[in-house]
Structures are given as structure tokens and as C-alpha cells.
Amino acid sequence: MPLRGHARAVAVLGLPLIGGHVAQFAIGLTDTVMLGWYGVAELAAVTLGSSYFFSIFLLGSGFAFAVMPMVAAAAGAGEERQIRRSTRMGLWLSLAYGAAAMPLLWWSEPILLLLGQEAQVAHDAAEYLRIAGWALFPALLYMVAKSYLAALERTQIVLWLSVFAAVINALVNYALIFGNWGAPELGITGAAIASLVTNGVSFVLVLAYALRALPQHELLKNFQRPDWEMLGKVFRMGTPIGLTTLAEASLFAASAMMMGWLGTVPLAAHGIAISLGGLTFMVHLGLSNAATIRAGNAFGRGDREHLARGGKVVTVMSLLVSAVAIVLFLTIPDALMSLFLDADDPQKDAILLIGGVLLAAAALFQLMDGMQAVALGLLRGVQDTGVPMVIAALSYWAVGIPASYVFGFMLGWGGVGVWMGLVAGLTTAGLFLMLRFWRRSIKAVGAPA
């Protein structure tokens, strides 16, 4: 396949996945925007609560991310039974993880206080998590079902279900945060209820589609029976993926904690800037998923040349996306930040001043954030997860988090110093993950056993 053919294939597969990720991200983004309109204190609390929730969620999502390359490889090799087995055990492990993690969400307030957060912000964030935390179960199950469908290139339905969920979340948020349409005005509690409802509806719909559109896989038939061999395989692949994802998420969660030490206004500015950076990351994540699926198919066939050409194309596409984001962040930061704020908020100017500097830092890490996402997608496609986990842990925990603390507090650079630590961690990860794929992992594909 020529390079143009690879680009077309990645676009056809990746665009619906990108749209799906953007729509799913819009759920959290809607919380941020509407609570920013409601009040700065509520915005700070949901920024803290969301960072905490997603750190826990992303560790558990490793099992869903493991299902994607396993199903793609099985489809490439024509092994239908393996598709069913890996998906079922992904659902099993997600349920077990949710039960184990729920106490951390229910009793989050003392943990947040222990991490140095202001008492009122920690209390409000914990109230949000006591309700939104239950969304962990449907959110993880939805991720497994979505990975299963995406690996089988059923990406259009993933897109439209995600868009539908985002619309539901926006409507429920609008009603319950502000008390519109006769609903009670619940503020941050309303946002938590909206997130729970949205994730629950999303999982029910995606499961219904999977059972109806792909009845040959019989995903729920004898669901209660364990498949210990496949459960072990999904666990062994999913755990490193989850830890890798957690390593990156913990870098951003730690940055939110450090911004909270600086005060409510810096934390609110951080919440807006990280939401904008996260929106562009959804594009990279969609390309990463497309890379995983296509690499998984090539891996199942043992086709190294196809894998190499596809890897080059998806990397260039990610670089182009980064270039667009950099231009926007550097040229119109105030316009982007203002979308999240009430025009009459007395703290608006202070938030814009801090946020503009943070967006400049976000522009710096766009390139490497995209590179590490694409590299991870390619590595997962060839089922290389152990060493990437170590690379991510060292990059984010040994470089990124310490650098944020040193730059932000020991050198006195404040919020921009915290964000320069993000740049350091992401750059380290992007460089070493790319080297891992191109220097070693790709050479093992199609090689004699």
C-alpha cells in the first residue's frame, strides 16, 4: 500500500475515533465550562475532583486498551473465538477493578486534604466524587465495549454514541447546575449527577448495539463462567497499559495538586488550560487508536513493511495536528480562555493572565505529547507493553513530577514552572517511546520464532 493509501486508511479509521474521543471529552469539558460560568470556586473543585477521578479511571482502563490490540490481532488472524474471549475477560477485569477502587472515590476528602488542598475545595471535590465516582463502573465497561467495536472497525457507531452521550450530558448539566427547566439548582452536585447518568446511558446503548450488530460473538452468553487463561492474558497486557496511562495521568493530577497549593485562581486557570490542551490531545489519541488497530492487524499477519509505512504516516499526521494547536495557543489565548468564563466575573482578568502563560507552555509540549501518544498506540498494536510502562514511569515520575516541583516552588516560577515540568516529562517519554518502537519493536514483527 502506498503512503497515500495509508493516510487515507488512517483517516477513514481515525476520524470517527477522534470524533468519538472529542465527544467523550466534551462531557468533562461541559462540566468545566458550565461550572466556570457558575463560579470560580466550583470550577476549582471540579478541576481537582476530575483529575482525581481520571487518575483512578485511567489505571482501570488498561484492560479496555488491552482488548483493542488483542481483538485487532485476532481479527487479522481470522480467530473469531479469541475476539469473544478477550472482550469478555476485559469486562470481568473492569468490574473487579471498579469494586476495588470505589472506596478511594467515596472517601476522597481526607486524601485530598493529605495532599495539601484547601479545606473547602477538597470538601466540594469530595462531594462531587461521592456521586460521580459511581460512574467508574459504566465508564470502564463502556471503554471495553468501545475498544471491541473499534478494533473491528465499527468506528462510526462509536462516534455517534459518543456524540449522543455528550448531548445528554450538556442537557442534564444545564438543567441541574443552574436549576433550569424547573429542575433544582444543584451546582457541582448537578454536574456529578449528569456525569453518572451520561456514562450509564452510554454503556447500555453501546452494549445493546454490540449484541445486536455482532450476535455471532455472543458476548453475554454464559458470561458468569470464568476463562482463567484469557483473563490472565488480558491482565498481563492490561496492567502495564493501565500503569503507563496512570503514569501520565498522575503527572497531570500532580500538576493540578500543585496548582491548588498556589490558590483557587491559579487552579481555575489550570483547569481551563488543561481542558484546551486535553481537547487537542483527543485528536492524537484518536490517531493513536487507529495506529493500534492497524498495527494489530499487521502484527496478526506478520507484515512488517505494512506496519512501518503506517507508522510513518500516522506520526506525520500527529505532527500536523500539533502544529495547528501551537498556532492557536500562541495567537488567540484570551479568546480561547474566555469561552470558559463569565464575562462579569471579577476574577476573569487574573485567570486570563495566568491562563495565557499556561497555554504558551501547553504549546511547547504539543509536539511531544502527540509523539508519545502515537508511539504508545503503535507499541500496543504489536503487544509491547512492559518496557513502555517502565519508560513512562521514569519519564513522568522521575522527571516530570520532580521537575514541576523544582521549577514551580524551589525556583519560584509558580504556575508556569509547574507546567514546564509537564513539558520535561512528556518530552522524555515521547523521545524514548519512539526510539523503542523504531529501533526494536518493529524488528520483531514477522521475524522467525
pLDDT tens digits along 225-240: 888 999 999 999 899 9
Q: Please compute the mean of the pLDDT values over residues 378-401 and round it to a whole number.
A: 91
Q: Please compute the mean of the pLDDT values over residues 190-210 and round it to a whole number.
A: 90
Instruction: Look at residue 445 in the predicted model and tell me its pLDDT.
Output: 65
Handedness of CA 63, 288, 286, 69 (dihedral sign): negative
pLDDT at 277 over 80: yes
Please state the pTM of the whole predicted model. Answer: 0.76
Instruction: Look at residue 398 in the predicted model and tell me its pLDDT.
Output: 94
Residue 448: which pLDDT band, with cuts at 50, 70 and 90? very low
Torsion of CA 68, 72, 73, 75, to 10 degrees: 140
In single-letter form, the type of residue at position 398 comes to A
Q: Please compute the mean of the pLDDT values over residues 186-208 and round it to a whole number.
A: 90
Q: In this structure, are residues 50 and 57 in contact, taking their beta carbons and an 8 Å threshold?
A: no
Instruction: Print burial letters for 330-345: b (CB count within 10 Å at least 16), e (below 16).
Output: eeebeebbbebbeeeb
The x, y and z cell numbers of residue 227, run together, are: 476463562
Residue 147 CA: distances (Å) to CA of 20, 41, 61, 63, 346: 12, 36, 10, 10, 44
Distance CA 407, CA 419 (A): 9
Residue 90: what are its φ and ψ, rounded to 5°?
Answer: -65, -40
Q: Please compute the mean of the pLDDT values over residues 266-288 and round it to a whole number.
A: 84
In single-letter form, the type of residue at position 170 comes to A
Q: Please compute the mean of the pLDDT values over residues 399-428 and round it to a whole number.
A: 92
Q: In this structure, are residues 37 and 342 in contact, taking their beta carbons and an 8 Å threshold?
A: yes
pLDDT at 286 over 90: no
Q: Please compute the mean of the pLDDT values over residues 38-43 and round it to a whole number.
A: 80
Whose cell is 476495588? That residue is 100
Name the H helices within 263-400.
264-301, 304-331, 333-338, 348-381, 386-393
Distance CA 310, CA 7 (A): 8
Higher pLDDT, 441 or 194: 194
Provide the mean pLDDT of the chain. Answer: 86
Q: Exposed/middle/buried for 186, CB within 10 Å: 0-12, 13-18, 19+? A: middle
pLDDT at 208 over 70: yes
Higher pLDDT, 60 or 446: 60
Instruction: Print burial letters for 112-136: b (CB count within 10 Å at least 16), e (below 16).
Output: beebebbeebbebbbbbbbbbbbbb
The x, y and z cell numbers of residue 124, run together, are: 466540594
Q: How many residues does the chain have?
A: 449
Q: In this structure, are residues 336 and 326 in contact, taking their beta carbons and an 8 Å threshold?
A: no
Torsion of CA 252, 258, 262, 266, to 10 degrees: 0
Sequence ranges of the domains in the chain: 3-444
pLDDT > 70 fraction of the chain, expressed in percent and rounded:
98
Residue 405: which pLDDT band, with cuts at 50, 70 and 90? very high
Instruction: Look at residue 406 in the predicted model and tell me its pLDDT.
Output: 95
pLDDT at 424 over 90: yes
pLDDT > 90 fraction of the chain, expressed in percent and rounded:
28
Q: Give rounded-to-5 percent helix, strand, coil for the chain.
A: 85, 0, 15
Instruction: Look at residue 444 in the predicted model and tell me its pLDDT.
Output: 65
In single-letter form, the type of residue at position 316 comes to V
Instruction: Look at residue 449 in the predicted model and tell me its pLDDT.
Output: 39
- The string of pLDDT tens digits covering residues 44-102 is 888 788 878 888 888 888 899 889 888 888 887 778 888 889 999 999 999 999 999 99
Q: Please compute the mean of the pLDDT values over residues 172-184 and round it to a whole number.
A: 90
Instruction: Look at residue 105 in the predicted model and tell me its pLDDT.
Output: 92
